[in-house]
Structure 1
Amino acid sequence: MTLTMVKETLMFRWGIIFLVIALIAAALGFGGLAGTAAGAAKIVFVVGIILFLVSLFMGRKRP
C-alpha cells in the first residue's frame, strides 16, 4: 500500500468510528454529543473523499 492509500483508509476508518458514535448517541437521545460526533464524521468523510479523488486523478507515477 502506498502512503496515500494508507491515509485514505485511515480517514475512512475515523469517519466510520465517528458515524458509529453519532448513531449510538442518537439512539440514547439527541444531544450535544450526537451533533458533535455527526459533524466530525461529516468532516472526516469529506476529507477522505477529497483525498480519494485527488489520488484518483493524479494517477500512479512510476518510480
Structure 2
Amino acid sequence: MAADPKYLHEYENPAVVGINREPSRAAFLPCPDRESALRCGFLESPWKISLNGRWRFKLVSNPS
C-alpha cells in the first residue's frame, strides 16, 4: 500500500487496518477422543481454561 501524502503517520490513515499483523486463524483445542470431539464444543473441553474472573494484581514501581 502506497503512503497517502495527506496522512503524516500511518496510524492516522483510516485505510490502514493492520501493520506487521499476523493473519487471523481458527482456535484449536484438543478433545480426549473422537466421540467427544464430535459432540462437545469449544467451551466444553476439559483443557480449556477461562481467564474471566477476579485477578490479584499489584503494581510496583520497581520489581525486585
Q: For the superposition of Structure 1 and Structure 2, which TM-score range results when normalised by the shorter chain?
A: under 0.3
Q: Return the TM-score normalized by structure 2.
A: 0.24
* Structure number with bigger Rg: 2
- TM-score with structure 1 setting the length: 0.24
Q: Which has the higher contact order (CA 8 A, sep 6+)?
A: 1
Structure with the higher fraction of residues in helix conformation: 1
